[in-house]
Structure 1
Amino acid sequence: MTDDEMKILRDLHLGRINFEEFTSLYPIEITNSYLIRELGRAIDCHDVKALAYLLSVFYKRGFFSELCKYLTDLMIQSWHKEHENIAMVLQFDVKCPDSVDNLIKAMEMKYKYLFDRCDYEPFVTKCMYAIADLGTDYSKQKLTELSLSEDPILAEAAKFQLDRLAEEALQAESIDENTRDNTDHGLEGLSPEKRQKLEEMLDMDKGTLTPEMCREFDKQYIHSKNKKKSTDS
């Protein structure tokens, strides 16, 4: 990147310009291939500023699956301080099934700056959520192993995720059961508050909701609550 390009990226990063202004000012079309190329260069050069600026672009433009390798590799590289942000990206923005091992390594590397900021435990929490939300057999296996760790922070965080997954499974089972009941008995199992919200969300008249819509709404409701818990932590 040229100095002029870095200045425009910096202005976006600092909030001096919005994304629309950024794209009009930036001399190169912002494509996936361009961003991947520049991210690779930033990693090769250990360019802390370029990495932070490029992440700002992704936050505005969106992450995509081709970034998985770069993001997971960054989790175990110590030259930058974006580990906590990337852990959140791996939870909320792009699912990378192959990220489990590097997320675990990142927690075990115990980056000093996280302790200096008192951010190590929140970092562990974010990594554990990213692992758990993959929902694969391997991610669950690694959570089980981590729950037996001699490190109390890792063990407690892993146990929390296992308990959360078990609770969500029970809730999903309950939702399915309610849906089956509601098929023959209207939608009595859906609370008036949830029904009203769902009707407003779908802009539908009363009485037109199907059990499938209610089940999907409840699943999203559960996910939004857990996402809020992760953000608050």
Structure 2
Amino acid sequence: MADLTKYEAAMAKRDPIALSKLLLDDSHEFHEDIVFELGLIGDRCAISAIAQAVQIPFEHVVNWNNLHEFQRKCAYALANIGTPESRSVLEALASQSDPYLQKYGREGPEHWGSK
């Protein structure tokens, strides 16, 4: 219940710092919603958290067979943030050994600054 309250408060305020912290917290099931919102907000403070989260196979995301969708949302969020730092993260994803991360790293720039 406390996680839901933290999530709701951060979403209501559109607080990118709080949402970035929650993105890396594995005690809830809101990761896809959070990364989507961070992409909409477009604040550069979220880049590091998104870069870390895209590499984490959160158990609930894997169990729901949504890992690749989550990873794609991370790439699109980075593209929407649209800074040189977020582009560097996408380029690093494109050079990963995981073919899905490679694909999403290459797709991200196609959506560059689409907000």
2:106 is matched with: 159
Q: Are 1:138 and 2:85 matched, yes or no?
A: yes
Give every structure 1 segment of 4 or more consecutive aligned residues whose post-TM-superposition deviation is greater than 3 Å.
51-56
The Cα of 1:165 is off from its aligned counterpart by: 4.9
Normalising by structure 2, we get a TM-score of 0.86
- In 2, the alpha carbon distance for the partners of 1:52 and 1:76 equals 12
CA distance in 1 between partners of 2:7 and 2:44 (Å): 24
Aligned-pair distance for 1:49? 3.0
Could you give the per-residue CA deviations for residues 139-188 of structure 1, whole angstroms, max 9, x where no partner exists?
Answer: 111111110001111111111113x158x8xxxxxxxxxxxxxxxxxxxx
The one-letter amino acid of 1:113's match is H
Q: Deviations over 1:82-131 (max 9, x none)?
A: 11001110112x22202112112112111011011011111111111110
- Count of paired positions: 115
Alignment partner of 1:108 is 2:55: yes
When Rg is computed on C-alpha atoms for both structures, the one with the higher figure is: 1
Letter aligned with residue 48 of structure 1: D
- Distance across 2 between alignment mates of 1:80 and 1:165: 28
**Aligned match of 1:71 in 16, 19, 26?**
19
Separation in 2 of the partners of 1:124 and 1:97? 18
Counterpart for residue 94 of structure 2: 147
Q: Report the secondary structure of 1:78's partner residue.
A: coil
SS at match of 1:149: coil
Choose between structure 1 and 2 for higher RCO, CA contacts under 8 A separated by at least 6 residues: 2
Alignment partner, residue 2 of structure 2? 47
Structure 1 unaligned segments of length 5 or more: list them: 1-45, 169-222, 228-233
CA distance in 2, matches of 1:52, 1:73: 10
* CA-atom RMSD in angstroms: 2.2
Q: Deviations over 1:8-54 (max 9, x none)?
A: xxxxxxxxxxxxxxxxxxxxxxxxxxxxxxxxxxxxxx812323543
Partner of 1:15: none
**Which residue of structure 2 lines up, in the alignment, with residue 128 of structure 1?**
75
Identity percentage of aligned residues: 20
Alpha-carbon distance in structure 1 between the residues aligned to 2:105 and 2:51: 11
The separation in 2 between residues aligned to 1:133 and 1:156, in whole angstroms, is 17
- 1:85 and 2:46 are equivalent in the alignment: no
Task: Provide the C-alpha distance between the structure 1 equivalents of 2:82 and 2:5, rounded to a whole number of angstroms.
Answer: 32
Give the alignment's TM-score, normalised by structure 1.
0.45
Q: Deviations over 1:55-80 (max 9, x none)?
A: 67x2xxx62xxx12111111111111
**Structure 2: where are the runs of 5+ without partners?**
none
Name the SS of the counterpart of 2:4 in structure 1: helix
